[in-house]
Structure 1
Amino acid sequence: MKILVATEKPFAKKAVDGIRGIVEGAGYELSLLEKYTDKAQLLEAVADADALIIRSDKVTAEVIAAAKNLKIVVRAGAGYDNVDLAAATARGIVVMNTPGQNSNAVAELAIAMMIFMARNRFTPGTGSEIQGKTLGIHAYGNVGKLVGRKGRAMGMKVLAYDPFITDAAVFEADGVETVASVAELYKRSDYLSLHIPATAETKGSIGYELLMSMPKGATLVNTARKEVIDEEGLRRALAEREDLKYITDIAPANQAELDEQFGKRVFATAKKMGAETAEANINAGLAAASQIVDFFKNGTTRFQVNK
């Protein structure tokens, strides 16, 4: 079995060494394609691969068509919208993610973003503290849970909304108050940490009405996906509410316009930074390799996302 690691932005050396140890220790071959600059390089490399590990690299229908032996793709991270699931499923290829491996890194970034905006982006002038403020968590998955716990540790009151969690004990164990609707969550949150995936139902769902309902001085923190934001609705709300702030780890298409119009009230990282820690890099890479070995050895599909 040949396992290809294809990463435009490579894993850390320690992660690659760990992946190699797992793969070769199981008796499989490891192939590396790092810092590639053209899709043709990926198409050539994947041609004889049985398994593929990626980060934010795009596995399109064209890539899948070129990979005649491919049986499994593992995205080292939580999101997997960079993989054409329909094309993979049509070929019988299993697609997995590595949930939880990047969660702490993203959660720490979300808290850091709140503080960054509360303190006027670390420029002169009186800022505010996040202690005593209300933190809303939109989607209480791996990252949302950690953001909530860290917020509580910093003295914030934490609310959460997640329609897919029906057991109230999950929230109660963390000292988190559940709310009945998205509308209520936004209406009550001084800081709203967004963790919903980009799906047909969620794309463009966070916009003008929700933002306008937020308390005075509120900040929306997006470490999820840019597609869930209604960018024109965001612009309108910021224009009408001079107290609102927006900070994101995924720059919207109209970021230049937002910067020009709203100055320090908006901020986007230069490149998605949520998983950019040494620890997350290593954890996700090792998890991806272990899942592939477990799949080939035991048929395990625990983290399959295209069932």
Structure 2
Amino acid sequence: MGLITTFRPSEQKKAVFFQSLITMKVLVATEKPFAKAAVDGIREIVQGAGYQMALLEKYTDTNQLLTAVQDADALIVRSDKVTAEVVAAAPQLKIVVRAGAGYDNVDLGACTSRGIVVMNTPGQNSNAVAELAIGMMIFMARNQFTPGTGTEIRGKRLGIQAYGHVGRLVGRYGKAMGMEVSAYDPYADPSVFEEDGVRVMDTVEALYEQSDYLSLHIPATEQTKASIGYSLLTRMPQGATLVNTARKEVIDEAGLVKALEERTDLKYITDIAAGNQTALTEKFGKRVFATSKKMGAETAEANINAGLAAARQVVGYLKDGDTKFQVNK
């Protein structure tokens, strides 16, 4: 006689629940891979919660991503583009987490229309970006580390546009270097400026007028795209430097060229090369500089922090419905 196993209703519910956990799949799709330590940590978090993990690294064709997302319930990416096409190819997708602060590489409209939650991991890359911004100021002050008499940043006026996670750290590091720090951010809680001992500017124009170094940390939105151009740059003091570790889209490139032409004392440095970067470098020489690729978050620590945070947020949402870091509410 065969063995017959019966479940009470509560046990049946548990069985269905745990089976759903086992079959849920979290896809980590990174054209530019996470560090091995980050991947190992993500796997431990995901599998420890009872989910499957799939890994797609260094893919060279979008079709590889389209195939991989077909049975994914959750997606973790870095700078990978989650387009409407990708969303359409993933019928089971419930959540996308961008491991990093910016999320303009994710089509929010396509996700929202499907009821897919989109999150970022704010603060995880902040220290890496802030250190880079300060390093860029020193790099430009010392003639890009080439022979010649440079200047010091101590005693100079540092302006910060957008006082979020990164902006606050840049301000603190600037103060530690002996700089006078001001900030403009109409969305920030006024108490943070007082807490950090930072001077608040009432207008963005006033910030530019009183900044020897201006550190940009605004996101690329419909309101901010191409918002930094000739009018603001020509308000800056003699010998001023604009530091952009935010997004290239916020720069009005034609306006930047015009300002640099008229103001031969101005300098511009970025870790997001402009569309006309080659022409800028040829025309303005050491007054401009761009890294070969975006490197604000390119530290081992930031790589690991963002990856682990993304994994925890995926698990938190799938298990408990936690939407704390949702950006498409």
- TM (norm. structure 1) is 0.99
Alignment of 1:142-221 (within 5 A): 142-165=165-188, 167-221=189-243
Displacement of 1:87 after TM fit? 0.3
Alignment correspondent of 1:304: 326
2:280 corresponds to which of 227, 243, 258: 258
Distance in 2 (CA, whole Å) between partners of 1:169 and 1:91 is 38
Q: d(CA) in 2 for partners of 1:295 and 1:192?
A: 38
* 2:3 match: none
Any unmatched runs of 5+ in structure 1? Answer: none
- Confirm or deny that 1:286 pairs with 2:308: yes
| Counterpart amino acid of residue 112 in structure 1 | G
3-state SS of 1:46 partner: helix
Q: Report deviation, 1:169.
A: 2.0
Deviation of residue 175 (structure 1)? Answer: 1.0
Q: Distance in 1 between matches of 2:286 and 2:74?
A: 45
Equivalent residue number for residue 92 of structure 1: 115
Q: Which amino acid aligns with 1:227?
A: E
Deviation at 1:209, TM superposition (A): 1.0
Query: Which secondary structure state, in structure 2, belongs to the residue aligned with residue 137 of structure 1?
Result: strand
Query: Residue deviations 1:13-64, cap 9 Å, x none?
Result: 0000000000000010000000000000000000000000000000000000
Gaps of 5+ in 2: 1-23
The number of aligned residues is: 306
TM-score, length basis structure 2: 0.93
Q: 1:216 & 1:116 partners in 2: Cα distance?
A: 18
Task: Give the aligned residue type for 1:277.
Answer: T
Take 1:38 and 1:152, find their aligned partners in 2: how far apart are those partners? 46
Q: Distance in 1 between matches of 2:325 and 2:190?
A: 25
- CA offsets, 1:152-211, max 9 Å, x none? 00000000000102x432101111000110000000000000001111111111000110
> d(CA) in 1 for partners of 2:60 and 2:252?
32
* Cross-structure match for 2:245: 223
2:57 is aligned with 1:31: no
| SS of match in other structure, 1:158 | strand
Counterpart CA distance in 1 for 2:192 and 2:35 is 35
In the alignment, what sits opposite 2:37?
A: 14
Q: How many percent identity over aligned positions?
A: 77
Larger Rg: 2
CA distance in 2 between counterparts of 1:154 and 1:45 reads 47
Question: Among residues 260, 273, 285, which one is paired with 2:295 in the alignment?
Answer: 273
C-alpha RMSD of the superposition: 0.5
Distance across 2 between alignment mates of 1:222 and 1:277: 18
1:53 equivalent among 55, 76, 80: 76
Query: Residues of 2 paired with 1:200 and 1:286: CA distance?
Result: 30
Distance in 2 (CA, whole Å) between partners of 1:203 and 1:168 is 25
1:148 counterpart letter in structure 2? G
Partners of 1:17 and 1:201 lie apart in 2 by: 39
Aligned to 1:140: 163
| DSSP 3-state at the match of 1:86 | helix
**2:279, 2:263 → 1: CA distance?**
16
Query: For residue 11 of structure 2, what is the aligned residue in structure 1?
Result: none
Cα distance in structure 2, aligned partners of 1:68 and 1:213 = 51
Equivalent positions of 1:231-250 (< 5 A) are: 231-250=253-272
Letter in 1 for 2:303: N
Q: Does 2:129 align with 1:111? A: no
